[in-house]
Amino acid sequence: MTAVTRSSSASTSPQGLTFPTGFRWGAATAAYQIEGSTTVDGRGPSIWDTFVTQPGAIAGGHTGEQACDHFRRYPDDVRLMAELGLPCYRFSIAWPRVQPDGRTTSSAGLAFYDRLVDQLLDHGIEPIATLYHWDLPQALEDAGGWPARDTALRFADYAQTVHQVLGDRVVDWTTVNEPFCSAYFGYGTGIHAPGIRDEAAALRAAHHLLLAHGLGTRALRAAASGDLRVGIVFNFGSILIARDEPEYREAARKVDGLQNRLFLDPVLGAGYPQDVLDDIAHLEALEPAIRSDDLDVIAAPIDQIGINFYGPSRYAPTGDPGERGTCDMPGVRGVDTLPPQGPLTGFGWEQDSDSLTDLLLAVSERTDLPLVVAENGAAFADEVSGDRVHDAERTRYLAEHIRAVHRALQRGADVRGYLVWSLMDNFEWAMGFTQRFGIVHVDFATQRRRIKDSGLMFSEVARSNMLPASVASPDDGYRRRPLVDPDRWGLIALG
Ligand code: IFM
């Protein structure tokens, strides 16, 4: 285990907000969203290659077949990161490139990541490897997918295989990205691959993704002889309710349970929360899937927790339909989703950087593990003007959220890094190419890259380790919102 030392703390000066020495800045991507070349060098199909062919599954019928053509253009993309002065790059490894059938290793597939890591290191960029960012080999889905226990065992083998090749150069590993999305969207609502709608399957998938994390962590530790930093990345929910009344608190408790505590508690060794097990008992899904030492495996010691944050969500007890939606997390009954408020991103997501500070503080109160903001960003409809993209809204969004991280640091949260989502515009899952999150613009017809204004701002922040006062004034009037239910760790605030 590598100890990460904090050699200074966050400070404020007339020039801006300075981050602790060694704070890790970087950008994040995921394999299926950028690589393309989905059949090259024997890569097998993933559940996303299959899902995108289903009529109506993806906006515009888009696919990741070409995406950003990063598989072929990675040397240029790494040069671009170097030009931006990014010290770290978080990428994911496509399991079906490494094990096309989920079992047999392809040295040609692994060689791509070998080249990528060398290219990053040659440019002084630290690689952060994510083993699973949603692209399960189709062969493993055919054998039962994440609702089947064997998929977690396969993952451990895959983790060990990748580490054998990259472990001499990659220190920083994420096992699983956002198990909530893989489980609930993939097997519950079916809006993501493999497109299954089965609440019980979604809960079994959640357990096996956590088991895969634990087994993968053990496999990485067993394989490593040198420095190793292992973590998991969650997309916790910042839950806002309008009233401090019992029915509202109860609605929020259910959501907090299924989105936050069900994932974090077992990883921290506290097992699954009993109130959540009670909520979902009628599905007879999770508890029957748990074998005797699973919870010990899931609680395998880790070095950090990644947090992906985009914006808060609003919930209420079921009421008059109006503009409300139904909360469709597995097993949840009696909870409505409410429309977002205030300034929205181009995707229609609520912008509220205070929620990021609140969330980092809430998680910090629950664990001493270092935190990393592993993804944060916003989609807006960018317009190209010549060589430039003036994305003022994204620039402001990023500056506000970087400031939110600084506030959390000043209030004692142990946050070690901030990775922007995303390095470049890419395939945004069910939304295809309609949502642009990049700090680098991609013209998908020509594959031309253009650094956006947000990229220039982020570059300055990464180089100086400071958010300049010209971008965000230090005094922003933040007040921590009280947790509505302090007995539970999750962020349920009045808003
Ligand atoms: O694009 C995704 C990413 O793959 C996972 N986290 C959220 C991002 C934006 O939706």
Residue 428 CA to ligand 1 centre (angstroms): 7
**What is the best residue among 394, 421, 436 to mutate for testing ligand 1's pocket, by most ligand atoms within 8 Å of CB?**
421
Q: Is residue 5's pLDDT more than 60?
A: no
pLDDT band at 224 (very low <50, low <70, confident <90, very high): very high
**What is the best residue among 133, 191, 308 to mutate for testing ligand 1's pocket, by most ligand atoms within 8 Å of CB?**
308
| Rounded percentage of the chain residues whose pLDDT exceeds 70 | 96
Residue 57: the pLDDT is 98
Which pLDDT tens digit goes with each residue over 98-129?
Answer: 999 999 999 999 999 999 999 999 999 999 99
pLDDT band at 268 (very low <50, low <70, confident <90, very high): very high
- In this structure, of 185-199, 241-255, 285-299, the range with the lowest mean pLDDT score is 241-255
Nearest alpha carbon, ligand 1 atom 1:
428
Nearest alpha carbon, ligand 1 atom 9:
428
Residue 4: the pLDDT is 37
Hey, what are 13's tokens? 């000066």
**What is the best residue among 177, 375, 376, 433 to mutate for testing ligand 1's pocket, by most ligand atoms within 8 Å of CB?**
375
Question: Span 146-172, mean pLDDT?
Answer: 98
**What is the best residue among 428, 431, 433, 442 to mutate for testing ligand 1's pocket, by most ligand atoms within 8 Å of CB?**
428
Residue 378 CA to ligand 1 centre (angstroms): 10
Residues annotated catalytic, as ranges: 178, 375
Q: Is residue 1's pLDDT more than 60?
A: no
Question: Closest ligand 1 atom, CA of 375?
Answer: 6
Residue 94 CA to ligand 1 centre (angstroms): 16
pLDDT band at 182 (very low <50, low <70, confident <90, very high): very high
Q: Is residue 482's pLDDT more than 80?
A: no
Q: For the structural domain made of 11-494, what CATH number should be given?
A: 3.20.20.80
Question: Span 123-137, mean pLDDT?
Answer: 98
Question: Closest ligand 1 atom, CA of 308?
Answer: 6
Residue 28 CA to ligand 1 centre (angstroms): 10
Question: Span 307-323, mean pLDDT?
Answer: 94
Nearest alpha carbon, ligand 1 atom 10:
428
Which pLDDT tens digit goes with each residue over 403-416?
Answer: 999 999 999 999 99
Question: Closest ligand 1 atom, CA of 133?
Answer: 4
Question: Span 433-453, mean pLDDT?
Answer: 98
Question: Closest ligand 1 atom, CA of 30?
Answer: 4
Q: Is residue 11's pLDDT more than 90?
A: yes
Residue 14 CA to ligand 1 centre (angstroms): 35
Residue 53 CA to ligand 1 centre (angstroms): 20
Residue 321: the pLDDT is 82
Residue 7 CA to ligand 1 centre (angstroms): 32
- In this structure, of 32-41, 296-305, 313-322, the range with the lowest mean pLDDT score is 313-322
Please, are residues 20 and 7 in contact by the beta-carbon 8 Å criterion? yes
Mean pLDDT score of the chain: 95
Residues in contact with ligand 1 (CB, 6 Å cut-off): 30, 33, 178, 308, 375, 421, 428, 437
Question: Span 194-221, mean pLDDT?
Answer: 98
Question: Closest ligand 1 atom, CA of 379?
Answer: 9
Q: Is residue 361's pLDDT more than 70?
A: yes
pLDDT band at 491 (very low <50, low <70, confident <90, very high): low
Question: Closest ligand 1 atom, CA of 426?
Answer: 1
What is the maximal distance between C-alpha atoms in the chain?
Answer: 61
**What is the best residue among 347, 373, 429 to mutate for testing ligand 1's pocket, by most ligand atoms within 8 Å of CB?**
429
Residue 185 CA to ligand 1 centre (angstroms): 12
Residue 411: the pLDDT is 95
Amino acid at the residue 253: R
Question: Closest ligand 1 atom, CA of 377?
Answer: 9
Please, are residues 91 and 127 in contact by the beta-carbon 8 Å criterion? yes
**pTM metric for this prediction:** 0.97
Residue 441: the pLDDT is 98
Question: Closest ligand 1 atom, CA of 422?
Answer: 1
Nearest alpha carbon, ligand 1 atom 2:
428
Angle at 127 between CA 5 and CA 129, to 5 degrees: 100
Omega before 194 cis (within 30°)?
Answer: yes
Which pLDDT tens digit goes with each residue over 384-406?
Answer: 999 999 999 999 999 999 999 99
Residue 17 CA to ligand 1 centre (angstroms): 27
Residue 249 CA to ligand 1 centre (angstroms): 28
Amino acid at the residue 113: Y
Residue 490: the pLDDT is 59
